[in-house]
Amino acid sequence: MSLILFSFFCCCIGFRLSARRLPNIEHKYISSLKSKPPPRSQEAKNNTQSRNTRRPAESNSYSRFTMSEIEEGKATFNHIVACHCGNISGQFRCTADHIIAWECNCTDCGMRKNIHLVIPQEDLHIDGGRDYFDDNTILYVWGTKAARRRFCKTCGILPWYTPRSNPDGVAITLACVKFDTTNDPLSVVVKTYDGLNWEKSHKKSGIAGESKKKQQIV
């Protein structure tokens, strides 16, 4: 009888000691997961390499500059714009100390709570070139079909598009931008564009001139 009680006592002690260790083991395991991000798949690595090989500006109809001119500082594309997953990205140029953004209430922009700034087409450089951009986005047009919106096929975000108000320009989604404020402090003025009364607002707002500004080349 005493032998049975002794065995039972030893089992209880062993169970309590192992139970105390479990939280520490679990905490250590979770910490290791947080400190080590999952490895990138081979497909993701191949996509990155493919984008880098197609990056030269010659294949990009939005930019009139070559990559060598950009790297030499003849044209500064210092602000970054990208979708949520980062598959669609680019650089554009404008002065950060005086940015005019537009909040539109048309049926499309109203649903997306869209606030955008407008720049000339040549002031946007697309990473990977125009062919890569077209292949990895899906086009949506409606109404007059003047506005051309291309959404990322992966995350569905619209980092930039061709607006009806400025067919010769590019509308950059403000929430998708990482501004470079090294030389200029960021200053954004948001104006209202009445997209529900489009013709009247287009004439009154003067937004058409936003895509005709010539940015400074250094």
| Domain range enclosing 47 | 42-212
DSSP characters over 36-60: SPPPPPHHHHHHHHHHHHT--GGG-
For residue 132, what are its two tokens? 């890569």
- Which two tokens mark 122? 């040549």
* Cα–Cα nearest to 90, from 81, 79, 77: 81
Q: What is the pLDDT of residue 172?
A: 97
pLDDT at 215 over 50: no
Classify residue 100: in a domain, yes or no. yes
CB 190 within 8 A of CB 102: yes
- SS3 of 152-194: the string is ECCCCCCCEEECCCCCCEEEEEHHHEECCCCCCCCCEEEEEEC
Q: Does 110 map to a domain?
A: yes
Asked whether the predicted pLDDT for residue 176 surpasses 70, the reply is yes
Domain membership flag for residue 25 = no
- The answer to whether residue 165 is domain-embedded is yes
Regarding predicted confidence, which is higher, 113 or 55?
113
Please state, in angstroms and rounded to a whole number, the distance separating the CA atoms of residues 133 and 62: 11
Say whether pLDDT at 143 is over 90.
no
Residue 195 covered by a domain = yes
pLDDT tens-digit profile of 77-134?
789 999 999 999 999 998 878 889 999 999 999 999 999 999 999 999 999 999 999 9
155 inside domain: yes
CA triple 125-129-135, angle to 5 deg: 130
Q: pLDDT > 90: what percent of the chain? A: 50
pLDDT for 2: 60
Domain count, the chain: 1
- Give the 3-state DSSP-derived string for 132-155, with helices as H, strands as E and coil as C: HHHHCEEEECCCCCCCEEEEECCC
What pLDDT does residue 26 have?
31
Any domain includes 161: yes
Category of 34 on φ-ψ map: left (φ > 0), alpha (ψ -120 to 50) or beta = alpha
In a domain, 140, yes or no: yes
- CATH code of 175's domain: 2.170.150.70
